[in-house]
């Protein structure tokens, strides 16, 4: 087994932590949009899994169908959050396996 340079490993880990923090900030600023009911309900979520905006077509409100409105909101919100999770996963994938951390005995 190769000798482990703990100082170098610590520096790599700190660099990885900084890259991870930058990635989190970058992805938090990105948004995704989902809709349901043929666009009658639109939801925008960000990479921090926060809902930024919900838009409801006035015609849907005028229909006075509370149950349908609730269902469409749930569908749009869940889709927006799934899209935001995919966005985060895609960004995390860019860090690569072990995010480039070079640990002796692992992938050498």
Domain count, the chain: 1
CATH code of residue 35? 3.30.1310.10
Domain that holds residue 29: 23-93
- Inside any domain, residue 40: yes
Query: Which DSSP helix (H) or strand (E) runs through 4?
Result: none
Tracing tokens 């087994």 back to the chain, one arrives at 1
Structure confidence by residue, pLDDT tens digits, 6-43: 888 888 888 888 888 888 888 889 999 999 999 999 99
Is residue 41, in this structure, part of any structural domain at all? yes
Is 6 within a domain? no
Residue 18 lies in a domain: no
CB 42 within 8 A of CB 58: no
Q: Is residue 78 part of a domain?
A: yes
State the angle between helix axes of 66-93 and 6-28 in degrees (0 to 180), rounded to the nearest 10. 150
Reported pTM: 0.73
In a domain, 102, yes or no: no
């Amino acid at each position: 087994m190769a000798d482990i340079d703990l100082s170098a490993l610590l520096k790599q880990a700190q660099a990885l932590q900084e890259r991870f923090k930058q990635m989190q900030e970058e992805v938090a600023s990105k948004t995704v949009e989902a809709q349901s009911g043929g666009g009658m309900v639109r939801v925008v979520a960000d990479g921090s899994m926060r809902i930024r905006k919900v838009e409801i077509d006035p015609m849907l409100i005028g229909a006075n169908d509370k149950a349908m409105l609730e269902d469409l909101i749930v569908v749009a919100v869940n889709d927006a959050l799934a899209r935001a999770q995919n966005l985060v996963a895609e960004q995390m994938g860019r860090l690569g396996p072990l995010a480039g951390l070079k640990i002796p005995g692992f992938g050498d």
